[in-house]
Structure 1
Amino acid sequence: MSEEKVRIFDTTLRDGEQTPGVTVTPEQKVQIATRLSDLGVDAIEAGFPIVSHGEMQAIKTIVNSGLKAEICGLARATETDIDAAIKCDLKYVHTFIATSDIHMKFKLKMTREQVLERAVHAVEYAKKHGLAVEFSAEDATRSDRPFLLQVFKAVEQAGADRLDIPDTVGYATPQYITQVVNDVRAATKLPISMHCHDDFGLAVANSIAGINAGAACAHVTINGLGERAGNASLEEFVMALQCLYNKKHNIKTQMLYETSRFVSNTMGIIVQPNKAIIGENAFGHESGIHTHGILNNPLTYEPISPELVGRKRWLQAGKHAGAHGINAMLAEFGITPTEEQLKLIVEKQKDVADKGKAITTADLLSIAGEVMHNAQFEEKFKLYDFHIVTGMNIIPTAVVRLNAEGKDLISSETGVGPVDAALKAIQKIAADVASIKIREYKLDSITGGSDALAEVSVKVEDKNGNIVSARKANEDIVVASVEAMMDAINKVLLKKVLYSKS
């Protein structure tokens, strides 16, 4: 088993889409499926065909898109659900029925005999229609063990190709998962999958326990999306497998961060900053002790290289930051203060942080420029003016006029709102000299009332993975957003100038 690759079954488009408040269009499902296939997942659960006509159309499109990954659809253990899967051109179905007493009594209102019969018939029906079948015993970890094994044996005899052990309410422990997998392996010869939920924060640990006990596959989702507390996170599971257990897989790990961001943006679910592997802060450092160690040897405070998962290390100014970290941040912009200047810069940025303000890149450079009387901070990009057209039944449109190194440039863009349109127009103009992506946009109200002073913070990343942040305040949210974006771009250009000289 140690030499075999662990199979990665991604259910972002099915269980992940069942995250409360999430819904994606058929076109978006196809886009996500393409990203997942490029990432290297072995199987994609494209959806639940019986749910809607749009769902069926999306799944059918994904099936016929020529993706490398196997495409699977979910079906209850009924002919109607399996027929819906067949209509989507699927050749692989994931069918399920609950086997725990609590589910059978209160949800299904069926006896054990009826559940067993339904499970066997579903597998036989799917196999008769030429489908590969993965069978799940829903709520397996709370099921009576002899009955669970009886059902698994029966569906194996009926022709099932794979068995799945769902920890449906995330109630199991790694030790318990190990026992279940051992019992199922002793009872059947079929490959076993794990489907673990994260209600107690153990989904990844339980999935790994299952693999270590002999399971061949894990059902996972990008960013750990899923119902309630979510499913096992693909990125955490894969990196733990690779780095902690020396197990192989087909995932292109350098694509994890971009895939995570794409799914987050498409599904509208923000990833918590401190989430392992793909959270914005996963490779960010502020503490003086940490930054000093990192600068001497990254392994002091990083278990893996950020580049391994498509990330780049970044340092944060703030009240915990020390001289080594601040000096390193300034050096990234070609700024070399004297020892006395550095001491003063560190003190001044700590004073700002003590007032409860996060120190953006622009803030730090402004402080440095003030202390050093440095003319290096002259803006390369200057805003002349911009116009916004928006309103009821009108697509928000922005026209922006800038000056870049003596040249007047103009651009127009549409967006979901006036801010989106304006920022897109700026990015369009800046694309040739500062190709950046907005990684974070934050809006705060400093004062109360409808005329409140709005404070906008943006965090952008250039094509080299460098992260720059800026903040501006204004009574007009659009103006504050545009000014913050311009400030961030100008700071990115400072780095570009430095790189071009080196």
Structure 2
Amino acid sequence: MRRPVEIMDTTLRDGEQTSGVSFSSLEKLTLAKLLLEELKVNRIEVASARVSEGEFQAVKSITDWAKENGYLNRVEVLTFVDGGASLKWMQKAGAKVQNLLTKGSLNHLTHQLRKKPEEHFKEIAQVVSKAQKMGIETNVYLEDWSNGMRNSREYVLQFLDFLSQQPIKRILLPDTLGILTPNETREYVGLIVDRYPDSHIDFHGHNDYDLSVSNVMEAVKAGCHGLHLTVNGMGERAGNAPLASAVAVINDFLSDSVAIDVNEKALYKVSRLVSTFTGFGIPANKPIVGDNVFTQTAGIHADGDNKKNLYFNDLLPERFGRKRKYALGKTSGKANIQKNLQELGLTLNDDELKKVTERIIELGDKKETVTKDDLPYIISDVLDSGSFQQKVFIKSYVLTHSKGLKPSTTVMVEINGRSYEENALGDGQFDAFINALHKIYDRKKIALPQLTDYAVRIPPGSRSDALCETIITWQTKNKEFVTRGLDSDQTVSAIKATEKMLNLI
């Protein structure tokens, strides 16, 4: 049988120690509900006792809801060795599980508390006894435990010998400063699990060296019974071990021996909500929850996906309620474009696909971001260009706009192989451009259509720095017609629409 491992989420307590982050009472309650009911973590640590009136109200709202829905013993509060003051705060807030903060290294005990081990143990015993009489369950944090194991192991083991005789439910081992290597984590956790087989051991990792997920993995291998994680790796300094990554690692690499209850499909949803509440954006390349982690950019990868999913791994986006995307840019190639066309329900022949690919590469070279929402506009523009034989080319133009002076344009147009150049003023750059064209066509005794409507739009869902479509309606004596231009620059897109008009007439 697989060994169960508890997941305790501490986003609402330790994650809130991220610089600049503070959850409101309503935000804490909303997240508490999501964490327990949708994400299905086993426990949540929601606050530190005696911090503020706002914190008290947040805990009270959570415990009221938790009591009504049968989750009260899964809601935990950080408390202190303070003669029972934290316990009174907890009792008033309606909480039933304390995570008592104690000193897990001789260095902290000696220099911060200035006490002997026996004094510290005696005070802890009094708090634990008082909690038991109040009907409050106790877990004990050994703050700075990792440094304690490195530098004062004898003290740590003496402390754990004492705790193993106390009426506590769990021993919580934090790598408070994120200093452990994976080998040390496995050695230290393994030693304690073997030495205290009747104790429930939790591991609490920080990410200062970017080793927290590796340390989580080794702690589980060493036999720990619980893990402390935060959504998006929120936490002090470099943060805590990130929930989404730890869950994926356990499910994919350790599932033969251990089992966790977390609902993977809710990870992304909760991640986005925490990002919204905190104002901390999720890095695009953050595993599992980042915007780019299920996006193929290179065309060769999309081609491989078409040929037996050659570039897939076990981290399928559907596991996390997400979809694979295929980026459009200068490295995407035909395969990426075809994947996006399939999603849009569009089909192009080889020649059309080649033209669209060339246009996307052209935009990519300009460092423009092209999205799936841009694709129908690019297709329309490219295929529309092929609906006539081009005889008129706008070869060059200079647009000027200066404060206090009228905008002016100099334009060179090639018509049937012959070049014409004119300049003109106007009320705007595009108006000046049209006036210059009128001069050229007046010399040829050709009347240009009248511009009757001019509309600019960005493809819905797109990014404004990528594409802008200008739609111009023209009126001749006999008919009305429309041309469109597409470019990242609004004026240039209008000039492209005008070039199409010149060819059509």
TM-score with structure 2 setting the length: 0.72
Q: Does 1:206 align with 2:253?
A: no
Contact persistence 1:283–1:302 (CA under 8 A): no
Q: Does 1:76 align with 2:69?
A: no
Alpha-carbon offset, residue 31 of structure 1:
0.5
Unaligned runs of 5+ in 2: 386-456, 468-505
Aligned match of 2:90: 85
Residues 457/244 of structure 1: CA separation in 2 closer, same or farther (3 Å cut): farther
Unaligned runs of 5+ in 1: 375-455, 461-467, 475-502
Q: Does 1:156 align with 2:164?
A: yes
Alpha-carbon offset, residue 8 of structure 1:
0.6
Aligned match of 2:496: none
Aligned match of 2:144: 139
Aligned match of 2:48: 48
Aligned match of 1:64: 64
- Aligned counterpart for 1:187 among listed residues 179, 195, 210: 195
Alpha-carbon offset, residue 25 of structure 1:
0.8
What is the correspondence of 1:224-303 to structure 2 with a 5 Å cutoff? 224-246=233-255, 247-298=258-309, 300-303=311-314
Paired with 1:257 and 1:53, the residues of 2 have a C-alpha distance of 32
What is the correspondence of 1:447-466 to structure 2 with a 5 Å cutoff? none
- Aligned counterpart for 1:107 among listed residues 107, 112, 118: 112
Q: Secondary structure at the match of 1:47?
A: strand
Alpha-carbon offset, residue 311 of structure 1:
0.9
TM-score with structure 1 setting the length: 0.73
Residues 48/192 of structure 1: CA separation in 2 closer, same or farther (3 Å cut): same
Aligned match of 1:346: 357
Residues 185/302 of structure 1: CA separation in 2 closer, same or farther (3 Å cut): closer
Q: Does 1:325 align with 2:329?
A: no
Residues 21/197 of structure 1: CA separation in 2 closer, same or farther (3 Å cut): same
Q: Secondary structure at the match of 1:133?
A: strand
Report how many aligned residue pairs link the two structures: 385
Alpha-carbon offset, residue 167 of structure 1:
0.3
CA-to-aligned-CA distance 1:227-249 (integer Å, 9 cap, x gap): 11111111111111111111321
Contact persistence 1:139–1:168 (CA under 8 A): yes
CA-to-aligned-CA distance 1:426-477 (integer Å, 9 cap, x gap): xxxxxxxxxxxxxxxxxxxxxxxxxxxxxx999x9xxxxxxx5432699xxx
Aligned match of 1:441: none
RMSD (Å) for aligned C-alpha atoms? 2.3
Contact persistence 2:25–2:58 (CA under 8 A): yes
Residues 23/372 of structure 1: CA separation in 2 closer, same or farther (3 Å cut): same
Corresponding letter in the other structure for 1:197: H
Paired with 2:342 and 2:376, the residues of 1 have a C-alpha distance of 11
Corresponding letter in the other structure for 2:306: L
Alpha-carbon offset, residue 120 of structure 1:
2.9
Contact persistence 1:73–1:94 (CA under 8 A): yes
The structure with the largest alpha-carbon Rg is 2
Contact persistence 2:252–2:314 (CA under 8 A): no
Paired with 1:297 and 1:118, the residues of 2 have a C-alpha distance of 64
Contact persistence 1:10–1:221 (CA under 8 A): yes
Aligned match of 1:23: 22
CA-to-aligned-CA distance 1:123-160 (integer Å, 9 cap, x gap): 22222322111101001010011211111221221211
Aligned match of 2:183: 175
Alpha-carbon offset, residue 83 of structure 1:
2.0
CA-to-aligned-CA distance 1:26-85 (integer Å, 9 cap, x gap): 111000101101210110111112111111111121112134541111102222122212
Corresponding letter in the other structure for 2:130: Y
Residues 163/299 of structure 1: CA separation in 2 closer, same or farther (3 Å cut): farther
Aligned match of 1:372: 383
Contact persistence 1:119–1:151 (CA under 8 A): no
Q: Secondary structure at the match of 1:184?
A: helix
Residues 457/177 of structure 1: CA separation in 2 closer, same or farther (3 Å cut): farther
Contact persistence 2:245–2:287 (CA under 8 A): yes
Contact persistence 1:6–1:248 (CA under 8 A): yes
Contact persistence 1:26–1:58 (CA under 8 A): yes
Paired with 2:103 and 2:458, the residues of 1 have a C-alpha distance of 48
Contact persistence 2:300–2:335 (CA under 8 A): no
Aligned match of 1:3: 2
Aligned match of 2:427: none
Alpha-carbon offset, residue 208 of structure 1:
1.8
Paired with 2:111 and 2:371, the residues of 1 have a C-alpha distance of 54
Contact persistence 2:302–2:339 (CA under 8 A): no
Of 361-370 and 239-248, more deviation after overlay is shown by: 361-370
Contact persistence 1:49–1:59 (CA under 8 A): no
Of 27-36 and 203-212, more deviation after overlay is shown by: 203-212
Corresponding letter in the other structure for 1:109: R
